[in-house]
Amino acid sequence: MRSTKTMANYRVVLRGAALTALLTLTSCSLLPDTHSSPNEPTLPVERPGSWHPGWSISRPDSLAADFTQLQPNLTGQVGMAIMPVGGGRMTIFGDWTTGIAWSTIKVPLAIAALRHDPNDGVFEYAHEAITVSDNDAAEALWQSLGDGEDAAHAVQEVLDEAGDALTNVSGPKTSLDYTAFGATEWTLANQARFASQLPCLPETDTVVSLMEQITPEQRWGLGTIEGTEFKGGWGPDDDTGVYTVRQFGLVPTRSGGVAVALAAQADSGSFEDATALLDRLARLLSRHLDDLNGGKCQKLR
């Protein structure tokens, strides 16, 4: 976002979607051997009932061990979800699991708008919405898709294609909503799943390319890892003023791409401290990229 102040007007208009339907997971995993050792710490998971019984979660041993050491030294809540590009097993760390999408939702929004009308004017709006997270440009993309219901349906179709049929994009705005789409609840797991299919979907190359061109001022977290295509989003809670900072993106490894979703809330509540937490997660991840098995796109249909 170009200005964090404008985001204070966002309203939460959706409840978090329960994970009641999931993609069928393939047999590929993030590591050649993902079996947990008897002494491995238990993975923090979402609240009971949030996980599908058949969902398999792998734990890369060295990354898991380092995260377990790091987490007590983090001054806030964090979450990290990792999945190979093209699909596979998901790995989840941390205690932050779901929240408002903020400007990360501009990625499926830009895809939907460019599919609807790929003219130069819409591209310029997409460029501004992604690279500098301009809110006015994102609003123009939203309006280009029709009224609130039509726009929400178009963005939802993009999410559905990636297997994220549980993230409900907000419908028509009310007088209390600044930008309805930014108030969408998006779980960390669903965001990582969307990212894992993002480069595999039709007509997404333009937006993925824009995710390589993020302004230097917003290149914290995943933006510190060379070659990563990513998008961030952030904003304060209306009641507490505590900032949530989110990112998702595609991180290159020697064996293929890895989809990563990150989120943080600092104990201080500040934007700066939350981005510093994402920097620490990115440094941790970058040290273990060679441990991860990435993936390549597979046709969804």
> Which pLDDT tens digit goes with each residue over 46-75?
322 233 333 333 444 589 999 999 999 999
How many residues comprise the chain? 301
pLDDT score recorded for residue 141: 97
141 burial (CB, 10 Å; 0-12 / 13-18 / 19+) is buried
- Looking at domain 57-268+275-291, its CATH class is alpha beta
Beta-carbon contacts of residue 92 (< 8 Å; ≥ 6 apart): 43, 45, 57, 79, 80, 81, 82, 188, 189
Beta bridge partners of 57: 90
Q: Is 53 exposed, middle or buried (0-12, 13-18, 19+ CB in 10 A)?
A: exposed
Residue ranges for the chain with pLDDT beneath 50: 2-60, 174-178, 300-301
Predicted confidence at residue 284, as pLDDT, reads 97
pLDDT of 10: 37
- Other Cβ atoms less than 10 A from the Cβ of 6: the count is 15
Please give the pLDDT value at position 172: 64
What's the pLDDT score for residue 149? Answer: 87
Beta bridge partners of 250: 229, 259
At residue 284, φ and ψ (nearest 5 deg) are -60, -50
Cβ proximity of 220 and 231 under 8 Å: no
The phi, psi pair for 152, rounded to 5°, reads -60, -40
Residue with tokens 């060295």: 62
Largest CA distance in the chain: 57
Which residues lie closer than 8 Å to 212 by C-beta, 6 or more apart? 229
Q: What is the pLDDT of residue 273?
A: 98
Indicate the domain borders of the chain: 57-268+275-291
